[in-house]
């Protein structure tokens, strides 16, 4: 149940039988998150550290339970802060590139590169460029889903707010990068 499935090319999915299995700074973490209308949850076990964290929230479609669980687990076992700054910087640079109608294709999987064809890049450029540089760009959710890391970023402008969602493969390549308007 806790053995991660390997892909045919040998890459680790970090996904066992219904649970995420990964290490952070040498600490084994087994986790499972959940969501149902009006509620989210995160359950983390660090078996070698004899630590378990369970967080339940009565919120809908937000990552508060995962954020709280990750921070609590880090405090309990003395982990350094996460690398959220690096991924946020990369996501912001991609966004700025999209405003110019360009992307660094080496950051994406073949599927994601196929999505970003000339028409999609043109659409992103024409809709995002007039907004100018964002006033803020910050990660608000990070959780593991189906062997990938799912992140949500808030992008803030004087009169507008956007959300960027990403799915990152275990090898660091982006499988999905979406920009979503917030009404």
pLDDT in 10s for each residue of the chain, 183 residues: 888 887 787 777 778 888 888 787 788 889 888 878 778 888 999 999 999 999 998 876 556 777 788 788 888 888 766 666 688 889 999 999 999 999 999 999 999 999 999 999 999 999 999 999 999 898 887 787 777 889 899 999 988 899 999 999 988 899 999 999 987
The contacts of residue 27 (CB under 8 Å, 6+ apart) are 46, 48, 49, 77, 79
How confident is the model at residue 114, as a pLDDT? 96
Q: Which CATH number is 84-181's, of 3.40.50, 2.60.40, 3.40.1000, 3.10.450?
A: 3.10.450
CA torsion, ordered 111, 154, 134, 112, to nearest 10 deg:
0
pTM for this model (two decimals): 0.60
Segments in the chain forming alpha helices (H): 64-77, 84-99, 110-115, 118-128
Name the residue among 128, 143, 131 with its Cα closest to residue 179.
128
**Domain boundaries of the chain, sorted by first residue:** 20-77, 84-181
The two tokens of residue 181 are 């308007």
Nearest of 141, 137, 136 to residue 61 by alpha carbon: 141
């Amino acid at each position: 149940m806790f053995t991660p499935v390997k892909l045919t090319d040998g890459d680790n999915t970090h996904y066992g039988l219904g649970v995420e299995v990964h290490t952070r700074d040498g600490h084994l973490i087994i986790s499972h998150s959940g969501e149902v209308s009006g509620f989210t949850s995160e359950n983390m076990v660090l078996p070698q550290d004899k630590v378990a964290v369970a967080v339940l929230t009565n919120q809908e479609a937000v990552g508060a339970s995962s954020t709280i669980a990750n921070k609590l687990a880090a405090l309990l076992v003395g982990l350094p802060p996460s690398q959220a700054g690096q991924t946020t910087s990369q996501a912001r640079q991609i966004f700025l590139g999209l405003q110019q109608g360009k992307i660094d294709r080496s950051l994406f999987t073949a599927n994601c590169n196929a999505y970003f064809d000339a028409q999609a890049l043109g659409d992103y450029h024409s809709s995002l460029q007039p907004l100018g540089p964002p006033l803020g760009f910050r990660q608000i959710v990070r959780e593991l889903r189906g062997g990938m890391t799912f992140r949500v970023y808030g992008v803030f402008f004087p009169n507008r707010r956007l959300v960027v969602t990403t799915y990152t493969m275990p090898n660091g390549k982006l499988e999905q990068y979406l920009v979503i308007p917030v009404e």
